[in-house]
Every structure is written in structure tokens, then in C-alpha cells.
Chains A and B, each alone.
Chain A
Amino acid sequence: MALDYSINYKAENDYQNSVDEAHWQFLIVPEQNSTQQLLSVDFRNSLGLEKSYSINGFGFRTIRLHATKKFGKISFEASFKLIKKDINPFDFDAFPAVEEEYQYIKTLDFQVDFEPFLKTTRFTRLPEAHLPGFQLDQSISLFENLQQLNEWTFKFLNFETGVTDVNTELDEVIRNRKGVCQDFTHLFCALARQNGVPVRYVSGYLHQGNGYFGDSQMHAWAEAFMPSAGWIGFDPTNNLLVNSNYIKVSHGKDYRDCSPLKGVVYSEGANETKYSVEVSAQQQ
């Protein structure tokens, strides 16, 4: 059954010293795709700056603002309405023999086509030492393996906010075994890529049921490509497969390609950013 979504995104930036000029880029608009139909976008800011739409380097829609007059504080508010179709992650035709899929992902053509999502990046680099490791079990299907990896990651890390930030690399995450959704996702991506499975980092919104992580913030999960099934979403933070509770905004190689807010601010001194997200749904 399809869901009607209403998403609210709010952010507030406070600058210690006044700012002469600034650029912001928001990567927060839900993607239009086969399971998501975007109905409306509304975006306001406290300075009344004119917004413009553009795209990022991977083609995802961005909202841009450019402030050219002195200010000290700015707040942003966005709301999106969309219809999300049901997703059944099990709805695909498995390869007749499990080995075929493993052979397929080893072919040169496949590795060339999916090179961007097989590549190790700064945030998906596995430290050589102290890693329990995850190996594909070739006696079961690739899909089952990735489900196991999802669960493995979920169990390996403990969800804890405030321990990591956007610059934390896997080395530290693995040492502390603590982190938030982007850390879970980076670890999942790293291990899947190490095993030759293309995965992309996804940023978006999660409609909360009770007890799931990702509340009131933007969420992150992974999409893995399986020759039998195409791109399938895995949420290692919650050990779930992606369904109609997940609203995708963008994807990339890691967090760096998906950061929801980028700013270029001409000012000295510190600044503080706060943001929150509200997602509500109604069944159609």
C-alpha cells in the first residue's frame, strides 16, 4: 500500500562573528524514482534569500542559497510531500545456481561498470589490523550473504551518538565499536566492496516505527547491487531491508558525496549548526 509522506527539515546556523558572504548547498530533496513521487517542495529561509535549484556532481537535485549581505544567524526550513510505493525487497528472480552470481560479479565488464561503487574511499577504508572480517559464504546466495552482513554490522557496532562525527574514519569506528548510521553504513559498504559487491552510500529519511535508530535526523543506509536483483537497500543500523519507510535523497561513494548541507562561509570564528527532521506518513 502506498504512503503519503510529509517531511519537514529545519536547520539553524549561528555564527560567532558576522558573515559577509556565504553559499549553502542543501542535498535534502527526496529523489524522484520508481518508488517515490515527489509532489511538492517548499523551502524558506529567515533572511529571505532567493533559492535556486541545481545538481551535484552525481546528478542529484540541490538547493542553493547565496547571501551577500552581512548577517549573524540564519535558519532554513523545508517541507516535502511525496507518495511512496511499497517495496518488496524479495521480489526478484534468483539465479538458478548461486555460483553464477559470484562468477558474474568477478567478470571484468562488471567490475568496470561498477568501479565507482567498488572503490575504497577515505571513509570506507578498512584498517588492516584488528578486523574480525567478513567473508562471503559462496554456498548461499549473494542476497543472503548481504543480509548476514547487514546483521553482522548491526551486531558489531553499538549505536551511540556523540562518539563519532562526519570526519571519523573506519579505523576509529572499528576500534570503539560505536557510531551512528553513517558509521554503520560505511562499515557495511567497506566490507561488501572488499568482497567485490558494489555498494553505494545512501542518504535520506526514515519513517520511524518504535525503537529504530535514525530518529529526527537524516538517515543513512546502503544499496548493494546484485546481478539477480539490481540495487537493494540494506539498513545495517537497524538490521532491516529497505522498504517503504525509507525515503531516498541521494547516493554516492560515501558520506562525502551525500552531505546534506555544505557551506562556504566568509567569516572568521566558530559556528554552530542545529538541525532536525520530522517525517510523518498517512496510508493512502
Chain B
Amino acid sequence: MPNIESQIFSSYQRNPLLHDEIFDQEGQVKAIYQKLFNLYGEHSIEDYIQLNNKAKSSFFNQGITFQVYGKKETQEKIFPFDLFPRIIDSQEWETIESGVIQRSRALNLFLSDLYHEKKIIKQGVVPLELISSSANYLHQMLGIDPPGGIYNHISGTDIIKHNDGNWYVLEDNIRCPSGVSYVICNRTALKRALFGVFNHYQTHTVTDYAENLLDLLETVKPHGVDQPNCIVITPGMYNSAFYEHSYLAKTMGVELVEGRDLFVENDFVYMKTIKGPQRVDIIYRRIDDLFLDPLEFREDSTLGVPGLFAAYKKGNVTLANAPGTGVADDKAVYTYMPEIIKYYLGEDPILSNVYTYHCSRPQELKYVLENVDKLVIKPVDEAGGYGISIGNKLTKKEINERKKQVKEDPRKYVAQPIMSLSVHPTYIDENHSFEQRHVDLRTFTILGKDKEFVLKGGLTRVALQKGNLIVNSSQGGGSKDTWVLKNQ
């Protein structure tokens, strides 16, 4: 097919050092994107601006917003959505899918071991410090057998495509990974704006997430329950991901509740309804561990349910994810993932890790301190992109400050080489043009009893500021619809 000179790509600038997902080194559109490129090329910039505004208002109208913490006040924002989708072919996806399943299964076995025999530590494969210095290791979980043996029912694995063309895992999120509702909303928004483009590609659906989630959660129902009653619990409407909580409950067809809607009696959990108390068997909880039960964890928590943990300990309710999973998504654990996978599954990792330096090791600390300008330094226990420094973006003064912080508490930090995330053409509002922006991909994996599901798609997050590598929504990132193609 001839390469049509597209109007909307006429000012697209390619940095040859970056891995562009749609243009090859010679500037030719890659085969998989050719049709899409032609279709988008039929639009003028004016058309495109109009379409873009339409898509934006569809997000506002649906109330798909999130909140940003940290500065003086909390702000309500929409998650910027980019109309140009990202495509992953079926073969590439197969690797990703088997890779994230492998990781989730290994992490589950790891958690089970950490809360039972701890063989992996006794055999010296991972250090004792991973649990003894982790704030997320919950001793209350010791010896508990969660229903179906599952801890990390839902995992959000963040992966990137490096300029060597390979996928690497950036981190595993197994506390309450969020973002899946955006995946589905992005698909809906794109279909509304540009339905025609879908006719030219065989794309896997993403709207089956909620039904699969419910299905798999039901495989880990408490013992002796026939028809489990599943609910979603949220910290409330002020939580940054409240939209997602309500979306998931709605699409799963289950109740969305807050802590005060539930109570525990004789170690069983009940929901208050107008028809009287109704027993609850499976709770998809979007509340952090320490807020789950004020009688067991933080006494000042008004979000949780008094007595919930005892009900869990007695096996009368399933919590997804299990309390105490946070110990395994510590960034220090990440660095041992190749060993962890090998230990429990006897397999080599399908997806590679980014090489990581532990500042807790004197040799590696030394290297990190000497190379702050060439490394990404991350605190091990922060989520949402907070506290990350990217070496080549730091001033001299910032480098020195960073060194001081790391030296003061080395165990708190890990460092990685600056990975060159692939770039994807992204429409930039203020310039009215497409530009290269870095992207990553959050995948969603669900583990049930002897069953797993990976959402065929995921959340492609875009760092909207030019050259920025941090893609988290709280750091001003946007997102794209992500197409996984069917095998043709």
C-alpha cells in the first residue's frame, strides 16, 4: 500500500534515538499501523480537533474523573485521553500474557510461603530483610489459608517496551491496582468518536473484564458457600479511584458499599439492606490493609468494618486481594523476581526485569551514589510515581540532595538505569499536532482457583510532557486505547 502523506502527521518529528511504535527507523509506517495511519490521515487537523473535544466531553459527561493529592488542595481532573490507539499484535501479546500470568502465579506462591513456612528465606534465595523490614508484612496473616489459596487475585503489572524492542516489567502492583475502568472507558470513547476504524481491525474486547473478575472471584468463595454474594467496598466518593469502584460494581452487577454498610456478627459479614441483613461472602476491597478493620488494625479507621479480620481469619469471607499482599509488591522484592519465579515454578522469567540496584547493598550503593545522574532512583514503598528522580533531569543541587537522602536511608531506595520507554504518536492540544510521547502499559491479571484471566488490552499510559518518563495519572499522564489483535 502506498504511503499516503497524512495531513495530521505532516509535522510529526521523529527522534531517531527513540523506539517509535508506528514508524520504523527509515520513517516508514509499520505494517500493522498502515491502515490506521491511512484512516486517520483522511482527517484534517480541524476534524481532529473536533473529534478530540467530543471525546473529552464524553469523559466529563460520564463523570470519569480522578483526584490528585499532594499539593495544597485536592483537584478533580479528567484523565486525558488520546484518540490514536496503540496496537499490539497477537504474537507479541502472547508473550506478554504468559509473562504476566507467570509473575502473578509466582507472587502468589511467594506470598503463601511468606505467610507459612518461609522456605525461600530459609534456603537463602531472598534475604530475611524483605519481611523483617517491610511495613506491609502482616503477622496477623501468618498461618491463614485464604480461600482457594489465592492472595493476589488482581495484579497490575506495569511493562514497557525498551528501545531494544523488548518488553520489560517495571513493577508489579498487587495491593489495589487501579486503572482498569479507564481501559474500558477509553474503548467506549474511541468507538463513539471513530467507530469506523474498528471495522478494519480484529480487536479483542476489553469489556469482558468485570464478568471475568466476578467469575474468578467466585472460584475462591469461602468453604461451604453455594451461591456466593460478592460486593465491592470503597473508601468512599473522595477516593481518587471512586469512579472505578462504582464502575466495577455496576458492571459486575454487585453492590458497591462503604464500611458503614456492613457489619460483622459471630464472625460472619452482613450487608445492611432494606430487606434486612444479607450475608456477604466475597469482598473486592479497595481499602488499604490497615483501614480494613479498626478492631484489628488502625483503631481510628472509619472506612473499615469492625470485626472483619476475624471473619476472614475464620475463613468466613474472601478478601480480594488478601491482606498483607503489599509485602510482595515492594520494589525491593521486584529485584528478586527472576529468582522467585525460578524457585517456585522452575521456569525462567518470560518477561525481563529492569536491572535494579539495591541501595541496601554497600557495593551497589556506592555505584548509585556515583551515578545519580544516570539512574532512576525510587523509594521502595511509594506508589503513584511519588519520590522518583530521573538522573538526567536533575540539577547539580538536586543531585547532591538526592545523594544525601539515599545515604541517610539506603534501604529505602532502589535504582535502575534510565530505560528508554517506547514512544507513540500522541495528539498535543496546545500545539495542534501529533508528537512523540513515552508510553507504558499496565496489564491486569486475575487469579482464581486453578484459573486465570488477563485482560486483552490494558492501560497504555502516556507521559504528556515532552521527554517525561513518568506516566502515572497523578503525575499528569494521559492514556490511550490499547488494541490487542486477534490471531489472523
Contacts and interface: CB of A to CB of B under 8 A. Distances in A.
B306 A264 contact: yes
A108 B124 contact: yes
Interface string B203-247: 000000000000000000000000000000000000000000000
A25 B299 CA distance: 11
A55 B140 CA distance: 11
Given A52-B265, A64-B307, A119 B124 contact: no
B139 A116 contact: yes
Interface string A54-76: 11111100101010000000000
A264 B313 contact: no
Interface string A34-54: 000000000000000000101
Contacts of A62: 310
Contacts of A175: none
A25 B132 contact: no
Those 9 A-B pairs whose CB atoms lie nearest each other, nearest first:
A57-B140, A23-B306, A54-B310, A25-B295, A116-B139, A264-B294, A57-B296, A264-B306, A112-B118
Contacts of B40: none
Given A66-B263, A112-B121, A118-B132, 19 more contacts: A23-B294, A23-B295, A23-B306, A54-B266, A54-B307, A55-B310, A56-B310, A57-B139, A57-B296, A66-B306, A108-B122, A108-B124, A108-B128, A111-B128, A115-B118, A115-B128, A116-B139, A262-B299, A264-B295
Q: How large is the interface on B (under 10, 10 to 19, 20 to 34, 35 or more residues)?
A: 20 to 34
Contacts of A54: 266-267, 307, 310
B256 interface: no
Contacts of A57: 138-140, 296, 309-310, 313
A55 B315 CA distance: 12
Contacts of B295: 23, 25, 56, 64, 262, 264
Interface string A97-120: 000000000001101110110110
Contacts of B267: 54
A253 interface: yes
B314 interface: yes
Given A57-B296, A264-B294, A264-B299, A115 B310 contact: no
A115 B132 CA distance: 7
A168 to B, nearest CB: 16
B239 to A, nearest CB: 20
B131 interface: yes
A23 B307 contact: yes
A113 B121 CA distance: 10
Contact of A116 (B128, B142, B265): B142
A171 B313 CA distance: 35
Nearest to A257: B139
Q: How large is the interface on A (under 10, 10 to 19, 20 to 34, 35 or more residues)?
A: 20 to 34
Nearest to B310: A54
A275 B85 CA distance: 66
Contact of A55 (B131, B294, B313): B313
Nearest to A256: B299
A18 to B, nearest CB: 18
Nearest to A107: B122
A117 B63 CA distance: 48
20 contacts: A25-B295, A54-B267, A54-B307, A54-B310, A55-B313, A56-B295, A57-B138, A57-B310, A57-B313, A58-B139, A59-B313, A62-B310, A66-B263, A108-B128, A112-B122, A115-B128, A116-B139, A253-B139, A262-B294, A264-B295
Interface of A: 23, 25, 52, 54-59, 62, 64, 66, 108-109, 111-113, 115-116, 118-119, 253, 262, 264
Interface in B115-149: 118, 121-122, 124, 128, 131-132, 138-140, 142
A66 to B, nearest CB: 7
A62 B307 CA distance: 11
B297 to A, nearest CB: 8
A54 B138 CA distance: 19
B128 A112 contact: yes
A25 B139 CA distance: 20
A113 B117 CA distance: 8
Contacts of B263: 66
Contacts of A59: 313
A55 B314 contact: yes
Interface string B264-299: 011100000000000000000000000000111001
Given A52-B266, A66-B263, A262-B299, A58 B140 contact: yes
A216 to B, nearest CB: 25
Nearest to B300: A264
A93 to B, nearest CB: 26
A58 B121 CA distance: 22
Contacts of A56: 295-296, 310
A23 B306 CA distance: 7
Contacts of B310: 54-57, 62
Nearest to B304: A264
Interface string B297-339: 0010000001101100110000000000000000000000000
Nearest to B131: A115
A11 B128 CA distance: 42
A15 to B, nearest CB: 16
Counting chain A CB atoms within 10 Å of each CB, which of B131, B139, B294 scores highest?
B139
A223 B132 CA distance: 20
B316 to A, nearest CB: 11
Contacts of B309: 57
Nearest to B143: A59
Contacts of B121: 108, 112
A118 B295 CA distance: 24
A253 B138 CA distance: 12
Nearest to A59: B313
A108 B129 CA distance: 12
A109 B124 CA distance: 10
A57 B314 CA distance: 10
A115 B131 CA distance: 8
A264 B297 CA distance: 12
Contacts of A119: 132
A132 B25 CA distance: 68
A23 B294 CA distance: 10
Nearest to A55: B310
Contacts of B132: 115, 118-119
Nearest to B127: A108
A253 B140 CA distance: 11
Interface in B371-401: none
Interface string B69-112: 00000000000000000000000000000000000000000000
A93 B103 CA distance: 48
Nearest to A62: B310
A109 B266 CA distance: 38
Interface in B342-388: none
A55 B314 CA distance: 9
B127 to A, nearest CB: 10
